[in-house]
Amino acid sequence: MIALSAKMAKADGVVTVDEIKAFKELFDVPAGEERNVARLFNLAKQDVAGYQAYAQRIASLYPDDAETLEDIVDGLFHIAKADGYVHEAELAYLEDVAHLFGLERRVFDQIKARHVRPDKLDPYVVLGAPHEMNDEDLRKHYRKLVTETHPDRLIARGVPEEFVRIANDRLAVINAAWDQIEAERRLR
């Protein structure tokens, strides 16, 4: 995960201080291991070559745990956007990692929509729901997403605290998308 994160930071050609800070926000390094982690990160950030092997290895560790793989892609987006912009090379890297993880395109687009915000964010993409979904099914889908995304659920799964912070951001974006849909459909 350290190497995959370092290579994410290098994907646009430049590793910034903000990206290193974002990495440190994501990972709680055990006392006494800081030098080892820094050495591995610095070696891996030299170039992006070989990231596929790291992604495949991580995917093999979680073959039946798509939620953890989604959390990892979320974390990589956190690093990518740390310098204020997700470069097209970073986006290509993230798409490939998600593909290597076996994540559906729809799932990747949901994660991307939470991090890469165009001027007018499509709330349906954020929720991963088709525009033609009826009100009742859409409400059920939204509630399911909130349940799956809720930080308490991640804590119960044993996800590191840093990923719980990302889950809080994720939940805020999901809620904002729902608020937009509610207003458009006059569901209140």
What's 82's DSSP letter? Answer: G
Report the mean per-residue pLDDT for the chain: 88
Place of tokens 């350290």: 2
- State pLDDT tens for residues 62-99: 999 998 899 999 999 999 999 888 899 999 999 999 99
Least confident window among 15-19, 66-70, 156-160: 156-160
- pTM exceeds 0.75 for this model: no
Distance separating alpha carbons of residues 13 and 118, to the nearest angstrom? 23
String of DSSP letters for 131-176: TT--HHHHHHHHHHHHHHH-HHHHHHHT--HHHHHHHHHHHHHHHH
For residue 183, pLDDT beyond 60? yes
The one-letter code for the residue type at 140 is: K
CA-wise closest residue to 1 among 30, 37, 25, 33:
37
Residues 167-183, mean pLDDT to the nearest whole number: 85
Rounded mean pLDDT, 106-112: 90
Selected residue with higher pLDDT from 18 and 126: 18
What are the domain boundaries of the chain?
1-116, 120-188
Q: What is the pLDDT of residue 187?
A: 67
Q: Map residue 86 onto helix, strand or coil.
A: coil
Cα dihedral value 36, 101, 8, 122, nearest 10? -140
> What pLDDT score does 11 carry?
93
CATH of 120-188, one of 3.30.200, 1.20.1260, 1.10.287, 1.10.1390: 1.10.287
